[in-house]
Amino acid sequence: MHFRAGLAEFVRRDGALDSTLEIAVAVEADIELRRLTLRNHGEKPRTLSVTSYTELVVGWAGADN
């Protein structure tokens, strides 16, 4: 894991497969960006399924209180 101002990076290696997840948060706006990078260092081609999920909230934060 690597953390910098506004950015978190998670790196993992499973066998011949590397994955990097970068999460950036904008300070001036309510925005979060995510980028997933996959690298196959093996000799065989791989087939992967990637699923992403997000939950949008419409309303102000105090409404949950």
Q: Which residues contact 8 (CB under 8 A, 6 or more apart)?
A: 1, 2, 22, 23
pLDDT score for 46: 92
Q: What digits encode the pLDDT tens for the residues 27-55?
A: 788 788 999 999 999 999 999 999 988 87
Q: What is the pTM of this model?
A: 0.73
pLDDT reading at 18 higher than 90: yes
Of residues 41 and 64, more confidence is placed in: 41
Count of beta carbons in the 10 Å neighbourhood of residue 20: 15
**C-beta atoms surrounding 10 within 10 Å:** 13
